[in-house]
Amino acid sequence: MATAATGYDVIVIGLGGMGSAAAYHLAARGQRVLGVDRFAPAHDRGSSHGGSRIIRQSYFEDPGYVPLLLRSYGLWEQLAADSGREVFRLTGGLYLGPPDCTTVAGSLRASREWSLPHEVLDAAEIRRRFPNLDPDPGHIGIYEAKGGFARPESTVRAHIELALRAGATLTFGEQVHGWSEDGDGVTVTTARATYRADQLVICPGAWAPQLLSQFGIPITVERNVLYWLDPIGGTTAFEDQPIFIAENETGAQMYGFPAIDGPAGGVKTAFFRQGIECTPETIDRVVHPQEIAEMRARVRELVPALDGPAVHTATCMYSNTPDHHFVVARHPDAARVTIACGFSGHGFKFVPVVGEILADLAIEAKTAHPIALFDPRRLVTA
């Protein structure tokens, strides 16, 4: 096995959404960066694919995320300008269900706490303004004009291109076998070589249980399915629809997008966290007819015209922490190692700001961004 040059400041393992952003932000600050990924750029084997990911600011998960979202929105704009790519689009966002459900009550709480522009709509007003949607009479919606979607593959490619332009060395198709830390730096061993650097950033996605096993961070990997359904009457009526997240009385959430892939592209929809536990090696990549039938049955309750055949399906993996909050930190037990994992199905909208945070942590060992919520020590039991 050949040994690579040791002249790197930071090695980044994993070049999906978070890792590619970290590589870019590090290289843009003058760091000598090596990025390593086992797959080709913008691949579909992990969690940074599927054509679209929701972005929003009225954050029902926890109002503590909102400052990061505000910064992330600015970085989305910068990334689009610097790369010349459409990496995001604002369509408006509608979050609906019973008034006391997590999706509605949590979105309203975040909007009020951070004075985010929003509207509260009853079911009749939702039907009037968004004729594709037919909510139950007692349901309401929180509408924010700044909801929309990011394009994950374009985002990864944009960060990779900008990282390379800033001088990073990025290698693909190279599997990491292991890493270690000592008093002088870090060592990363791959199928091709052994690399040395001062710092290590690990963005492992669904491979977190293997690459971070020594830290005892409990992460489970979950298979989720994405569906593109052919609307009754065609996609034209769905072109200007906002993204939506809908919760029913049982607490089950689903979400959907406008028609963004042309007349033959269907309309994307999916359940949120309704998958089964898996690993990257055991995930079932086949989407079965019964799964499509279940998605159609649920979505027709809210969007009757979307009860059409599937024109495309795909699988992806969520990497879930027990509390569904992220892990983004310099690990207290490994002074030269920064980790970003456990994004629990809602992390992609934070990709630009997480890249900035990881660069802060790797270079300065601290960040001005509020990330106490993401400390891994909350999850590690004695």
Query: What's the pLDDT band for 2 if we cut at 50, 70, 90?
Result: very low
Question: d(Cα 161, Cα 23) in Å, to the nearest integer?
Answer: 10
Question: d(Cα 370, Cα 107) in Å, to the nearest integer?
Answer: 20
Asked if 141 and 126 count as a contact pair (C-beta separation under 8 A), the reply is yes
Question: d(Cα 151, Cα 153) in Å, to the nearest integer?
Answer: 6
Region 228-245: mean pLDDT is 97
Asked if 227 and 308 count as a contact pair (C-beta separation under 8 A), the reply is no
Placement of tokens 């590690």 in the chain: 380
Predicted local confidence at residue 352, as pLDDT = 98
> What is the pTM for the complete model shown?
0.96
Asked if 289 and 315 count as a contact pair (C-beta separation under 8 A), the reply is no
Residue 316 — φ and ψ, nearest 5°? Answer: -145, 175
Which is nearest to 8 in space by CA: 198, 234, 281? Answer: 198
Query: What's the pLDDT band for 6 if we cut at 50, 70, 90?
Result: low
* Triad 299, 304, 305: Cα angle to 5°: 110
Question: d(Cα 92, Cα 241) in Å, to the nearest integer?
Answer: 8
Residue 149 has pLDDT above 50, yes or no: yes
Residue 4 has pLDDT above 60, yes or no: no
Share of the chain above pLDDT 90, in %: 92
Asked if 229 and 295 count as a contact pair (C-beta separation under 8 A), the reply is yes
Predicted local confidence at residue 334, as pLDDT = 86
Predicted local confidence at residue 1, as pLDDT = 40
* Helix, strand, or coil (residue 254): strand
Structure tokens at 103: 């999706």
For the stretch 13-56, pLDDT in tens is 999 999 999 999 999 999 999 999 999 999 999 999 999 999 99
Question: d(Cα 63, Cα 76) in Å, to the nearest integer?
Answer: 20
For the stretch 269-314, pLDDT in tens is 999 988 899 999 999 999 999 999 999 999 999 999 999 999 999 9
Share of the chain above pLDDT 70, in %: 98
Structure tokens at 359: 């660069």
